[in-house]
C-alpha cells in the first residue's frame, strides 16, 4: 500500500467559534482507495500559509510512502531540513499526517486505532468542558463569579463532572507577570462561587495560560487551595519546567501542563523536574498518536496522568479519544461542550457523548469521517490567527 494523494482543508469555524476561529484538516489517500484524516493544531502562521506547509511535507515525504511505516516516517519528518528539535510548526504538521496514517492503518485492518496501540482499557472516557457563554452573551460568563457559577451548575446538570474556567485575565506577549490584588481576588471569588454552586458533584479545573511569574503563581495557588481544584493549569510559561516545579512544590493543587509542548523530549523535562503530575498533550501538535502513547508511558512510570488538551476541531478530538481509550493512566478528556454544533455538523457521524462521558467508537481507524462537503462550504476567509495574545503589558 502506498499513499498517492493528499488534500488540505482550511475550515472556518462559524460563530460562536468554540474551539477556535478555524481548523486545518489533512486527508491522505492510498492506491487501494483508503483515505485517512488528521488535524494540524495552531501553527503560528495564517492557516493558508500553514496549508502550503502541509502540502510541502505531503509532497516531499508522504506521496509514495507506506502508511504502515509510521515510526520511520516520524523520524524523517522530524529531521526535515536538519531540525531534529521540538519545533511546533513542523510538529503540528507531522501530527496531522501521522494521525491520517493511523486512520488508514486502522481502516486497512478493520480495527479502531486504540486496538492497535495496546487495546482498549476504558469503555467510556470522563470529559470536561470550558465554561462557554450562551449564544448572545459574549464574554459575560467571565464578567463575574455569579454568572460563571450559574453556568457551571448548568453543565453539571447536563452530566459533566468537571468544568474548566480561567478568570485570571488576558494573556499577553509580555507575560509572565505578578498578578494584581484585583486579579487574585477575582480568581478566589470565582473558585469560591463555583465550589458553592457545584459542591462535590464536580471537579474544578483552574485554567491559566502561563500568565504568572513563579512567585505570582504560588500566591494564587494559596488563595485557591481551600476550594480543592483538581488542577492548576500552566501556571508559568512553558519554556522552563524548572520554574513550574517550584510552583508544584509550594502547593497541594496538582499542576497540569502540556498544550504548548511538543514531543516526548519536552514532556520528559516536565517529568524529570516534577513540574506537573497531569500531562495535557495536544495530539495535533505534540507529534501524533504514537508520540502521545510514548509520553503516556513515560507519565505512567512517574505515576502521572494524561488529560489530552483540546481547543481545536473534532478530528483532533477523535484522535485524543483513541489515545485515551488505550492508556491506563488516562484521567479526563477535554470536550468542546457536548460535541454538538459545528463539531457535529462537520463529521459524518458525530462524537458520542453521554452524561459527561465520551464513548470510544468501534469504527475502524480514528472512528470519525470528515464531511468534506461541509468543510468546503466553510472556507476560512479571515486574517486573524487561531489565538492571539495581547500586544501590550498589563
C-alpha 42/C-alpha 44 separation (Å) is 6
Minimal CA–CA distance to 208: which of 241, 178, 181, 170? 170
Q: Is 386 a catalytic site residue?
A: no
Q: Which candidate, 309, 302, 231, 311, places its Cα nearest to that of 270?
A: 302
User: Cα torsion for 332, 228, 183, 42, to the nearest 10°?
Assistant: -10
Which phi and psi (to 5°) does residue 217 adopt?
Answer: -65, -35
Q: Count helices and strands (H / E) in the chain.
A: 13, 13
What one-character DSSP code corresponds to residue 61? I
For residues 212-223, one letter each, b for 16 or more C-beta atoms within 10 angstroms of the residue's C-beta and e for the rest, the string is bbbbbbbbbbeb
Q: Strand 3-12: give its sheet, edge to edge.
A: 3-12, 22-30, 35-40
User: Cα dist. 166→119, 132, 183 in Å?
Assistant: 35, 11, 11
Catalytic residue among 209, 343, 378, 386: 209
Nearest to 47 by CA among 380, 393, 388: 380
- Angstrom distance (rounded) from CA 379 to CA 365: 26
Query: Catalytic residue among 309, 343, 378, 386, which?
Result: 309
- Whether 309 is catalytic is yes
What is the grid cell recorded at 338? Answer: 457536548
User: Do 169 and 211 contact (CB within 8 A), yes or no?
Assistant: yes
Question: Cα separation of 107 and 110, whole Å?
Answer: 5
Q: Which of 180, 186, 232, 187 is nearest to 210 (CA)?
A: 232
* Residues classed as catalytic: 209, 309
Amino acid at each position: 500500500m502506498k499513499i498517492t494523494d493528499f488534500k488540505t482543508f482550511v475550515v472556518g469555524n462559524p460563530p460562536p467559534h468554540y474551539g477556535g476561529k478555524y481548523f486545518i484538516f489533512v486527508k491522505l489517500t492510498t492506491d487501494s482507495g483508503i483515505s485517512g484524516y488528521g488535524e494540524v493544531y495552531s501553527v503560528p502562521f495564517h492557516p493558508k500559509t500553514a496549508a502550503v506547509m502541509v502540502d510541502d511535507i505531503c509532497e516531499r515525504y508522504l506521496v509514495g510512502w507506506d502508511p504502515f511505516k509510521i515510526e520511520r516516517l516520524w523520524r524523517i519528518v522530524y529531521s526535515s531540513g536538519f531540525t531534529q528539535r521540538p519545533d511546533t510548526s513542523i510538529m503540528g504538521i507531522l501530527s496531522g499526517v501521522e494521525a491520517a496514517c493511523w486512520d488508514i492503518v486502522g481502516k486497512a485492518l478493520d480495527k479502531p486505532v486504540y486496538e492497535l496501540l495496546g487495546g482498549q482499557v476504558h469503555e467510556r472516557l470522563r470529559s470536561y468542558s470550558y465554561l462557554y457563554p450562551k449564544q448572545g452573551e459574549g464574554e459575560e460568563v467571565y464578567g463575574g463569579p455569579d454568572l460563571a457559577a450559574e453556568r457551571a451548575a448548568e453543565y453539571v446538570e447536563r452530566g459533566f463532572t468537571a468544568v474548566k474556567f480561567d478568570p485570571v485575565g488576558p494573556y499577553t506577549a509580555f507575560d509572565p507577570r505578578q498578578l494584581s490584588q484585583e486579579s487574585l481576588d477575582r480568581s478566589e471569588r470565582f473558585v469560591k462561587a463555583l465550589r458553592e454552586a457545584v459542591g462535590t458533584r464536580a471537579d474544578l479545573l483552574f485554567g491559566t495560560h502561563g500568565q504568572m511569574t513563579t512567585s505570582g503563581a504560588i500566591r494564587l495557588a494559596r488563595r485557591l487551595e481551600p476550594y480543592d481544584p483538581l488542577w492548576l493549569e500552566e501556571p508559568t510559561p512553558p519554556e522552563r519546567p524548572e520554574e513550574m516545579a517550584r510552583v508544584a512544590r509550594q502547593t497541594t493543587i496538582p499542576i497540569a501542563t502540556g498544550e504548548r509542548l511538543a514531543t516526548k523530549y519536552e514532556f520528559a523535562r516536565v517529568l524529570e523536574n516534577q513540574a506537573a503530575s497531569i500531562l495535557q498533550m495536544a495530539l495535533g501538535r505534540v507529534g501524533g498518536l504514537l508520540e502521545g502513547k510514548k509520553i503516556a508511558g513515560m507519565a505512567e512510570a512517574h505515576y502521572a496522568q494524561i488529560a489530552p488538551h483540546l481547543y481545536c476541531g473534532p478530528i483532533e478530538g477523535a484522535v485524543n479519544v483513541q489515545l485515551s481509550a488505550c492508556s491506563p493512566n488516562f484521567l479526563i478528556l477535554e470536550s468542546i461542550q457536548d460535541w454538538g454544533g459545528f463539531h457535529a455538523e462537520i463529521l459524518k457521524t458525530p462524537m458520542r457523548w453521554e452524561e459527561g462521558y465520551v464513548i470510544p467508537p468501534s469504527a475502524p481507524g480514528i472512528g470519525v469521517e470528515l464531511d468534506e462537503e461541509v468543510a468546503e462550504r466553510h472556507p476560512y476567509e479571515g486574517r486573524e490567527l487561531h489565538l492571539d495574545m495581547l500586544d501590550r503589558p498589563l
